[in-house]
Structure 1
Amino acid sequence: MWRCVSGSARKGWGIRRLSSALRRHVVDEGDWSFSSEWWDPASDGHTIFRKLSSHGNGIVSVAAYPASTPSVDQCLMTEKWLQHRYAGVHPDLNDKDCQFKVLGYQWRVLKFNDDTRQSTVKVMAACRPSDPGSLILMQQSHCLAVPYVKSMVSVGLTALATSSFDLLHAVLGKKSMNILCIGHGGGTIPLFLASKIKGANVHVVEIDPVVVEASVEAMGFPSFEKTQQFVWDETLKNRISIHVSDVYDYIKKDSNIYDIVFVDAYDGDDIFPCKLWDINGDFLPHLANRVHPVHGTVVVNLHSDSDVPARGDGDDNSLFFQSVLPLGKYVRKVCSAYKGHFGEAFTVAVPWLCNITLVACKGKIFNRRDIVSCQLASKTNLVESLLNLKFSCIDYFKNGLMVVK
């Protein structure tokens, strides 16, 4: 979940004023310059999924918006790739029956209660002209559309790489990497990690089956059904496990030791559940026991702190910040709770959004901001090259980094 900088602050750099000329040089399909395509205040998009949740998320919906990329040339390359994949699975068919047509690309946005944006993905739709009913919907796993997701991935993996963990061999599939994702959303983070890291064992815990259903039916998350399994790496389904469960119940019974944990769990009221950060509760001790004692890393998405100078009760700015950052007054407590259970912690500000990324680590000594910055900076090139990223990791921790005291 995320919040965009709004009001007078946004007028200074608003999404709408981003130059279209920049797009000719953008190689990252998830670059923030494309956000106006799926974050248009004047449009609610086309609703393609809508269902009532019984797990506190209210109305779960998915809206579709047209995407301007990829180019026609890339579509042609994708069609050839799909034909090759399909022909390999069905060698008995002729070339005509194996041909594919890319119908287009869309942004798909998961919302709770028609308001809070929980996840944004890019999907590709294609079919075989010889069988118009053969529609496939494929989430573009390489495209991370929202800055806080890039922040979590960049800073989390870079922090892990500064430890004794061998990220190189995990990416190559020569070493296992246990990953826990608390909160599924559209499936962006688990699919990205499973696609990039051959040694990944990604366990996703999501309390709401409707959210998982929305991601598969409307956001192109792989269901691994036989009719569409050919478009995915055949080993991918062995790297992702989805557990529909309350995370506390799951953690109590889990026996895995995780190298890295990603926590992005907000409910239908846009609140980070207290039990996931209560320093005196049972969840954090259980989670700490499931994280590797030497290099274990936990990455948490939070609303940024909303400390606002004291103003009159009727002040518009004060009311604005209270409504945009409902968790602000709790963020310091969240950070302290994670530091208390994992040993070291730091935060970074997320560009363009009212979010911060909290990273809590075991086995590291992050006492000073300059030490943290140097340690992370020394590993950014490694992470970018190993994962073949289209964006710069260093952009997501060079500003607003703070060590949690």
Structure 2
Amino acid sequence: MWSRAGSRWICNMRRRLFTGGAPSRIFDEGDWLYSPEWWGSESESESNGNTVFRSVSDKGNGVVSVLAYPSSRPDKVHWAETEKWLQQRYEEIYPGYEQSGNFKILGYQWRVLRFNDHTRQSTAKIMAAYRDTEPGSICIMQQPQCLAMPYVKSMLSLGLSTIASSNYDLMAAVHGKKRMHILCIGHGGGSLPLFLASKIQGAVIHVVEIDPVVISASVQAMGFPPSSVMTPSGSRALLESNIINEVMWKGIHERLYLYEADAEKYIVENNNLYDIIFIDAYDGDDIFPNKLWDPQSPFLNSLSDRLHPEHGTVVVNLHADSDISNPDESVSYVYQQPLPLGKYVSSVCKAYKDVLIGSECMSYWKSGCGLGLTISVPLVCNTSLVVSRGFGRSSGFVNREMVMNTLVSNSGSTGNNDGTSIVARLSRAVSESGITNATKRVANDAAYVSKKLLKSTGKAAWLAGTTILILVVPLIIEMDRDQQFSELQLQQQSLLGSRPPPK
């Protein structure tokens, strides 16, 4: 969910973004440049979307609705390829079964989950398909590679880049050679856990959502796998998945576990150990519950016990809590100032840092303490907080140059080789610095993993920001102006080249 307080700022920014025309080629279907297709109006009654789900929540989310909007991508000429894929999947899953019709695609739509008719909680793209012998067998499938919300890209890029840099073998998890235990607190439309399950073969993902209406909306209208829903007893709510759901989700839904539960109760009562935890738990009134960040709360202290002691990483989505001025219309959006950290957001950051890392880690140069940092997502007035227990353990120290080198290299690169890209400039800076070869290898390996994982999401959303704010215990340090991302000319490129050699 993004901040309601910044909606006017976002609208002004969007006008600025879309007055110059779209680039000739965009590889990422979730690119922000497609947001006019699904943004709609501030009021559901005035929106040009069709309401496909509407119900009242008794868990603080007010009226929960899902609106549908036409999607321009993928183009119809590409549908036959997907139909062929569905048919091949059917034959692989049900070998020897009598042919019972071909799969046909009806089309693609954006689906937007809203709270109280105006707060856009989640956005997903769905595909509708059926078998031509059973026209009534229509099923919708959320497209896991399409991430429309910039802050979701930020959370994923930041979280995966950090854990890959924390002495955790993420590539082994990607290829299914080891289990990666993930917890998502707050479900929404389910785009984040679905992306993780589809891209990381070894991921086992537990999702905790307090509101049954939100769960129903995600399954019925957002295309989330229905067989992932769990009962209070711990069994699958849908004991037998139908044929079309198996075709769409086999290999993915078996590793997704969606629980209807209060986050605090879930964390206190279970004994699972998680490698990485994602938290996005704002309610319909745009409030991040105090019990989820109070340093004295059972939740945060139990969360510390549930987090892996060596490489455990937590990523939290936070909304801007200070005045956001309108952007300068004469300045490109990539030059806009980063979001300020107000008292509330700063308090949340400090609480997570103190409880998960320890307030005794007072030295910036102290090894083995882990790291906390925040990344601004100005486009939607959100901030991503990450706290990691493992960052810097393998290299023996953490400093600004190491953090900058590792995280920027992990976020993806531009397609330019002219020496002006952020990665090229930072590579030169790193090669001329005193960073150890071990640290360079960590950054290099993590970059390869992250680029492979995030190739389908396009540029990491936080690259659209202008400054990284590093919260290395216990200081917040603003990076030098000449290290800003504002000079980037971001391209949508697929980064599928060979593994880069160690620097």
TM-score by length of 2: 0.72
Task: Name the CA distance, whole Å, in 1 between partners of 2:187 and 2:13.
Answer: 33
Report whether the alignment pairs 1:228 with 2:229: no
The answer for the alignment partner of 1:104 in structure 2 is 107
Q: Residue 11 of structure 1: SS of its match in structure 2?
A: helix
Which residue, out of 126, 137, 142, partners 2:145?
142
Pairing 1:3-402 to 2, within 5 Å after superposition: 3=3, 6-7=7-8, 10-11=11-12, 14=15, 17-22=18-23, 24-41=24-41, 43-88=47-92, 89=94, 91-94=96-99, 97-224=100-227, 225-307=241-323, 328-343=342-357, 344-365=371-392, 368-376=399-407, 377=409, 378=443, 379-386=446-453, 388-393=455-460, 395-396=462-463, 399-402=466-469
Identify which range, 389-398 or 161-170, moves more after superposition.
389-398
Task: Name the CA distance, whole Å, in 1 between partners of 2:7 and 2:320.
Answer: 14
Q: Residue 30 of structure 2: SS of its match in structure 1?
A: coil
1:393 Cα offset (Å): 3.7
Task: Name the CA distance, whole Å, in 2 between partners of 1:9 and 1:264.
Answer: 20
Query: Number of paired residues?
Result: 386
Task: Name the CA distance, whole Å, in 1 between partners of 2:464 and 2:121.
Answer: 22
Q: Which 5+ residue runs of structure 1 have no aligned equivalent?
A: 310-324
Contact 1:57–1:267, Cα closer than 8 Å, also in 2:
yes
The alignment's C-alpha RMSD in Å is 2.4
Task: Name the CA distance, whole Å, in 1 between partners of 2:14 and 2:253.
Answer: 41
Task: Name the CA distance, whole Å, in 2 between partners of 1:10 and 1:122.
Answer: 22
Contact 2:13–2:379, Cα closer than 8 Å, also in 1:
no
Q: Aligned partner of 1:373: which letter?
A: M
1:3 Cα offset (Å): 3.4
Q: Aligned partner of 1:93: which letter?
A: E
1:20 Cα offset (Å): 4.9
Q: Residue 352 of structure 1: SS of its match in structure 2?
A: helix
Contact 2:128–2:140, Cα closer than 8 Å, also in 1:
yes
Q: For each residue in 1:297-348, what CA deviation from the matched residue of structure 2 results, as whole angstroms up to 9, or x when unmatched?
A: 0000001241579xxxxxxxxxxxxxxx9x9541010011011112231000
Task: Name the CA distance, whole Å, in 2 between partners of 1:345 and 1:173.
Answer: 28
Percent identical: 50
Contact 1:18–1:33, Cα closer than 8 Å, also in 2:
no
Task: Name the CA distance, whole Å, in 2 between partners of 1:397 and 1:384.
Answer: 17
Change (3 A) 1:43 1:394: closer
Q: Which 5+ residue runs of structure 2 have no aligned equivalent?
A: 228-240, 326-338, 358-370, 410-442, 476-503
Q: For each residue in 1:170-197, what CA deviation from the matched residue of structure 2 results, as whole angstroms up to 9, or x when unmatched?
A: 0010011000000010011111101111
Contact 1:87–1:98, Cα closer than 8 Å, also in 2:
no
1:44 Cα offset (Å): 4.9
Contact 1:368–1:403, Cα closer than 8 Å, also in 2:
no
Task: Name the CA distance, whole Å, in 2 between partners of 1:308 and 1:194.
Answer: 35
Q: Aligned partner of 2:258: which letter?
A: I
Q: Residue 205 of structure 2: SS of its match in structure 1?
A: strand
Task: Name the CA distance, whole Å, in 2 between partners of 1:130 and 1:20.
Answer: 43
TM-score by length of 1: 0.89
